Structure 1
Amino acid sequence: MDTMRDRFAPVVSRLLDEDPRVAVVLAEISGDGFAEAARRHPDRVINVGIREQLLVGAGAGLALTGMRPVVHTFASFLVERPFEQVKLDLGHQDVGAVLVSASASFDWPAGGYTHMAPGDVALLDTLDGWTVHVPGHPDEAETLLRHAVGAGEGKDDKAYVRLSVQSNGRAGTVDGQRFLTVHEGRRGVVVAVGPMLDAVLAATEGLDVTVLYETTVRPFDSAALHRATESKGTDVVLVEPYLAGTSTPAANDALGDVPHRVLGLGVGRRELRRYGQVEEHMAAHGLDAASLRERIDGFLGARLGV
């Protein structure tokens, strides 16, 4: 199966053909994938080199002229390194762009800590007005990329699409807005974000819980979570492929009118200095199916006294 990043250049190249407002700004990463598109649209495929602050600034400049820029590089160089430009050039100037990342949390362990960004979504949470998509399958990535860019729709909002090498086995029918209900139960609610769904389903097999699937994490679908807890109790477990607890405040706000408990599972804050493989990072952060089963069952069982 191809990866989400494999879909990125072909999908956005087609969007360049479909809408003269769409432009792509690169910082060397994925440049080869846009070689043909650059020949067709030399004025709308821009490679600024390894200059990430300029990357975001150029995207904002294009947005100020009415273009719809798609800005791409690794997450650590797209959100963390040029955060001042994300905050000021896009946010303060109130212009939109689509930031598309690759190799977030620990997708390329051999790249070392400089190429890891488990705090990217939490960092964007400090800013106002961002839509954040976290697809869990290449098909979903294609759908959410098209939704974010909005070719032909005149979109000018700020969106972040987080691509990953991790993937679920099957795609869901995502719409860029709502949670999907994958399984219904009575013991509690487990929210699986993007590529965490398969591990969550394996971890909750045989448990009497509701499983919600979330690929658009901002805005947070508060109504869906509130509905899911009405007849299932108000114990909620969030399983996110980035910094643990990132969406815990959003879940607390959604359930502010009822007594509830929330357990936020995700990537821990401690740096792992033996980089290993993606699967080893998953296990080290307790995000493999066996670890999730133990943590989810322990949390839900504590209330029931089992």
Structure 2
Amino acid sequence: MRNNFIATLADVAAQNPKIWLLSGDLGYSVLEPFAARFPDRYLNMGVAEQNMAGVAAGIALSGNTVFIYSIGNFPTLRCLEQIRNDICYHGADVKVVAVGAGFAYGSQGYTHHAIEDVAIMSALPGMEVFVPCDPIEARIATQAIAASGCPSYLRLSRAGEPLLHLTPPKDLRRPSVLRQGRDVIIFASGPIASACLAAADRLATEDLTVGVLTVPCIKPFDDAFAQEVANGARLFVTVEEHILRGGLHAGVLASLALVQDRPPVLGLAIPEPTSKITKAGDREALLEAAGLSAATIAKRIRSALAQLS
């Protein structure tokens, strides 16, 4: 996903001389193609994310579009005050790109687990938030935020994510159908959509039709779409590699708040950490522990349906 992002950004920068990229002293073997093609528009800011956000705001307010790039929590939480004050409150055309969403850097421990970032970035004024599920959505999201003219957050996983779309979606601000189904509708945010498709395959053997939707745009959230698909479903399920508060689940619940006879909503997410459950490990092991493997997602949906019977 990150390689797809940088290749797309380089293509966009070739057409737009106002595109800049700032890095927080990482991206080696990833960012070099951009740096080599556009040395006058690439800066390695070092391990100084607060300064990187402030410099990005200054370059953007001089008439440019600036992408800042670092791992998970570092271009978001470490420089949150600068993003809020320097970027958002001035409407600066800065794009915050975090690689390593969720448990992608799981072995590095909790400092590298990006599991609250969507909620925090969504709360900032004027900030749009994109969470692509595969390299296709990452490419389209990069193109979209490069042209949007407003502060943006792009949440990427790491590398090796499978392609989930058969055809590219036309508009990432509207959810896309990955699998048709009406009994259960799963809203998925990010690469966890792959596990949701596998869970839907398991449930399909039980005379259930399970739809899987990818929701790459968390803010602004497409309220109308959620309200449209609510009619006739037995159960809505939200699945995200993030805590339950402030992310996809919150957006779906807010959209359905005024819908009469809406289906119940089951939220599947990473439990909020405590000292007892904070762990390090590879992504798959941590997702399993969080109840977000394909088998566990299917099991939890079965349990929720049984309670509705």
Task: Confirm or deny a common fold (TM above 0.5).
Answer: yes
Give the drift of 1:109. 2.0
Matches of 2:78 and 2:224, distance apart in 1: 34
Q: In 2, distance between residues paired with 1:273 and 1:250?
A: 26
Q: Aligned pair 1:164/2:167, yes or no?
A: no
Q: Distance in 1 between matches of 2:99 and 2:79?
A: 15
Q: Does 1:282 align with 2:287?
A: yes
- In the TM superposition, residue 40 of structure 1 has moved relative to its aligned partner by 4.2
Aligned to 1:244: 244
Deviations 1:229-263 (A, max 9, x none): 11224x32100121224223321221122243222
Identity between Structure 1 and Structure 2 (%): 28
Superposition pairs of residues 107-118 of structure 1, within 5 angstroms:
107-118=104-115
3-state SS of the aligned residue for 1:76? coil
Partners of 2:34 and 2:250 lie apart in 1 by 41
Residues 1:19 and 2:16 aligned together: yes
Counting only pairs closer than 5 Å after superposition, residues 30-179 of structure 1 correspond to structure 2 as 30-31=27-28, 33-150=30-147, 155-165=148-158, 167-171=161-165, 173-174=168-169, 175-179=171-175
What residue in structure 2 maps to residue 218 of structure 1? 219
Q: Give the Cα separation in 2 of the matches to 1:144 and 1:129.
A: 17
* Cα offset, 1:32, TM superposition: 5.0
Corresponding pairs, count: 296
Report the Cα distance in structure 2 between the residues aligned to 1:273 and 1:238, rounded to whole angstroms: 23
In the alignment, is the contact (CA less than 8 A) between 1:13 and 1:34 conserved in 2? no
Q: What is the one-letter code of the residue matched to 2:115?
A: P
Letter in 1 for 2:94: A
Q: What is the rounded CA distance, in whole Å, between the counterparts of 2:232 and 2:36 in structure 1?
A: 57
CA shift digits 1:70-98 (9 cap, x unpaired): 11001210111111111111111222211
TM-score, with normalisation over the residues of structure 2?
Answer: 0.89
Question: What is the TM-score normalised by the length of structure 1?
Answer: 0.89
Q: Matched residue of 1:177: which SS?
A: coil
Is the partner of 1:139 in helix, strand or coil? helix
Instruction: Give the Cα–Cα distance (whole angstroms) in 1 for the partners of residues 182 and 6 of structure 2.
Output: 43
Partners of 1:248 and 1:40 lie apart in 2 by 41
SS of match in other structure, 1:73: strand
Give the counterpart letter for 2:176 in structure 1: L
Separation of aligned partners in 1, 2:126 and 2:267: 23
1:268 aligns to what? 271
**Worse-matched range after superposition: 166-175 or 294-303:** 166-175
Deviates more, 1:101-110 or 1:8-17: 8-17
Q: State the one-letter code of the partner of 1:204.
A: A
Question: Structure 1 residue 28: deviation in Å?
Answer: 1.0
In structure 1, how many angstroms separate the alpha carbons of the residues matched to 2:281 and 2:232? 43
In 2 relative to 1, CA 238–275 (structure 1 residues): closer, same or farther, beyond 3 Å?
same
Cα distance between partner residues in 1 of 2:192 and 2:124 = 25
CA contact 1:25–1:69 (8 Å) conserved in 2:
yes
Q: Which residue of 1 aligns with 2:257?
A: 256
Give the Å deviation of 1:39: 4.5
Aligned match of 1:181? 177
| Structure 2, gaps ≥5 residues long | none
How far apart in 1 are the matches of 2:101 and 2:214?
20
**What secondary structure is seen at the aligned counterpart in 1 of 2:299?**
helix
Structure 2 residue 230 is the aligned partner of structure 1 residue 229: yes
1:163 positional shift: 1.0
Is 1:190–2:191 an aligned residue pair?
A: no
User: Aligned partners of 2:29, 2:123: CA distance in 1, in Å?
Assistant: 33
Question: Within 2, Cα distance between the matches of 1:162 and 1:287?
Answer: 19
Deviation at 1:64, TM superposition (A): 0.6
CA contact (8 A) 1:8 1:142 kept: yes
Structure 1 spans left out of the alignment, 5+ residues: none
Q: Distance in 2 between matches of 1:104 and 1:255?
A: 27
Contact 2:130 2:153 in 1 (8 A): yes
Matched position secondary structure for 2:39: coil
- Note if contact 2:19-2:65 (Cα within 8 Å) is conserved in structure 1: yes
Moved over 6 A (4+): none
1:33 positional shift: 3.6
2:296 match: 291
Compute the RMSD of aligned alpha carbons.
2.0
